[in-house]
A = this chain, B = another copy of it.
Amino acid sequence: MSLAPWRSSLARALHRNRSLPYARYVQLATVQATGRPANRTVVFRGTLADANQLKFITDIRSQKADEIERSPWGEVCWYFPNTREQFRFAGRLTLVGEMHADSALQAARASTWQELSDAARSQFTWADPGQPRVSDDGFNAPLPDAIAPLPNFCLLLLDPDRVDHLELRGNPQNRRIYEHKNGDWSSQEVNP
């Protein structure tokens, strides 16, 4: 596997925005069963080893897991404040849950769990997300094991086939679209 041509631009943006923890927060759009879009903030967890896929995590009980099982298409919008640039990553999402058959992805799921903070891991012990909040009792479980992921923990992968990179700095702005077709990446400069 070779690095996709957008990887160096993304690495540069991450480096230049490293002073802002929330520069790793991105917005993931999916499509609901009703045909309406959904959109929420998720945390970028790095790229999958030897692949051009972006890593995120989610809870199998969340609404987005349902949406992705039904329609695997997603678009991540990622704005970097320090450098005033935006990446849009469009492609197929893969949920890697407890029963996923691929052993390499299971290993990636476990290592992603192990790299989380205690606070992030403990969220997977919380009461059902999105259900009416009846008490605070559902938020006091002991810390989960730091090695073996809880059954409801999912690794979430985005395998982009289109990346739209817009730099607001510059006069006019610069915009480049990368596309993955027949196993190859190509790119084209377009009007902003």
Contact = CB atoms under 8 A, between A and B. Distances in A.
Interface in A44-71: 71
B40 A86 contact: yes
Interface residues of A, number: 47
Interface string A28-44: 11110001111111000
Contact of A90 (B22, B35, B36, B129): B36
A133 B77 CA distance: 22
Interface stretch (A97-105, A146-154, A183-191): A183-191
Contacts of A131: 190-191
A192 B75 contact: no
Interface of A: 20, 22, 25, 27-31, 35-41, 71, 73-77, 79, 81, 86, 88, 90, 123, 126-133, 136, 138-139, 171-172, 175, 177, 188-192
**10 shortest A-B CB distances, which residue pairs?**
A29-B29, A27-B27, A29-B39, A29-B37, A39-B77, A36-B73, A39-B75, A139-B172, A27-B77, A133-B189
